[in-house]
């Protein structure tokens, strides 16, 4: 049953990739990257249950921290402060 | 199949539904601001559902309660940081000059900036007579 949810989240990531490649401005692409990182965090948590290893949850937490820092850095760059 | 598995699966299904909705909104909406608004809100709600749902599902599936604190930490972290990232991104997009959709009817940020400028003009006008009095003396 977990495979169905993994497949649905993968479909959502592919749908948001459309906006990443198509997006007319830079801001569109960064929004798409932000959504993709959020989706990937959920995917990692589901993979932890799929392989039954609680240690994978720590990977998801560190990934969420790094994605947040990355998006903030992109935002500062677009604003002209970096 | 225990009751914890059923509750957890329902939460994960709820979250996955909102994930798909958020990426659909990312494709459907007309400009950056609308896209960010739909995508951030529903992705935050969806990740809350998926992550806490996995924590509850693991009670029935793996048989251990130690998953719940970790999943709660991840969920609370996402709940705190997602709106901050969205706010910073939208401010950066507005300041770098991305245009609004032609159908949008209100721009509160611009109104607030122009009203701030008017307040400063009025302050300057209030300071001018006092300078004049000093010169006359």
**pLDDT above 60 (res B9):** yes
Say how many Å lie between the first and final Cα of chain A, rounded: 46
Contacts of B100 in chain A (CB under 8 A): none
Q: How does pLDDT run across B89-129, given as a tens digit for each residue? A: 988 888 888 888 888 888 888 888 888 888 988 988 888 76
CB-closest option in A34, A38, A42 to B89 = A34
What is the share, in percent, of chain B residues with pLDDT greater than 70?
Answer: 93
Say how many Å lie between the first and final Cα of chain B, rounded: 92
Task: Give the A window 27-56 contacts with B, CB below 8 Å.
Answer: 27-28, 30-32, 34-35, 38-39, 41-42, 45-46, 48-49, 52, 54
| Residue A55 phi, psi (nearest 5) | -70, -25
CA distances from B52 to A6, A7, A35, A54, B57 (A): 16, 19, 19, 14, 9
The pLDDT of residue B39 is 82
Q: How does pLDDT run across A31-44, given as a tens digit for each residue? A: 999 999 999 999 99
**Alpha helices, DSSP H only, in B62-107?**
67-95
Q: Is B101 at the interface with chain A, CB within 8 A? A: no
CA distances from A56 to A46, A81, B113 (A): 9, 35, 46
Contacts of B32 in chain A (CB under 8 A): 25, 27-28, 31
Question: Is residue B16 within 8 Å of A4, Cβ to Cβ?
Answer: no
Average pLDDT of chain A is 90
DSSP type of residue B29: S
Per-residue pLDDT in tens (0 to 9) along chain A, 82 residues: 889 999 999 999 999 999 899 878 888 999 999 999 999 999 999 999 999 988 999 999 999 999 999 999 998 988 887 6
How crowded is residue A32: how many other Cβ atoms within 10 Å of its Cβ?
A: 24
Residues 6+ apart with CB under 8 A from A78: A26, A27, A30, B89, B92, B93, B95, B96
The pLDDT of residue B99 is 82
Residue B62 binned pLDDT confidence (cut-offs 50, 70, 90): confident
Cα–Cα distance measured from residue B50 to residue B48, given in angstroms and rounded to the nearest whole number: 6
Q: Is B27 at the interface with chain A, CB within 8 A? A: yes
């Amino acid at each position: 049953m977990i495979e169905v949810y993994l497949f649905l989240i993968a479909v959502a990531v592919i749908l948001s990739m459309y906006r990443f490649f198509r997006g007319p401005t830079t801001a569109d692409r960064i929004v798409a990257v932000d959504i993709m990182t959020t989706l990937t965090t959920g995917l990692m948590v589901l993979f932890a249950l799929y392989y039954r290893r609680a240690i994978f949850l720590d990977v998801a937490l560190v990934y969420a921290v790094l994605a947040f820092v990355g998006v903030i850095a992109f935002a500062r760059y677009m604003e002209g402060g970096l | 199949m225990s009751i914890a598995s059923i509750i957890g699966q329902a939460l994960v299904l709820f979250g996955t539904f909102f994930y798909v909705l958020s990426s659909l909104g990312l494709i459907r909406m007309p400009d950056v601001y609308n896209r960010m608004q739909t995508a951030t809100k529903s992705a935050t709600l969806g990740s809350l559902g998926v992550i806490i749902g996995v924590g509850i599902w693991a009670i029935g599936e793996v048989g251990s309660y130690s998953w719940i604190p970790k999943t709660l930490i991840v969920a609370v972290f996402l709940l705190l940081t997602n709106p901050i990232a969205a706010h910073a991104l939208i401010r950066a997009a507005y300041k770098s000059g991305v245009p609004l959709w032609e159908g949008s009817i209100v721009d509160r940020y611009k109104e607030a900036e122009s009203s701030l400028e008017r307040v400063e003009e009025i302050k300057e006008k209030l300071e001018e007579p006092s300078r004049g009095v000093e010169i006359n003396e």
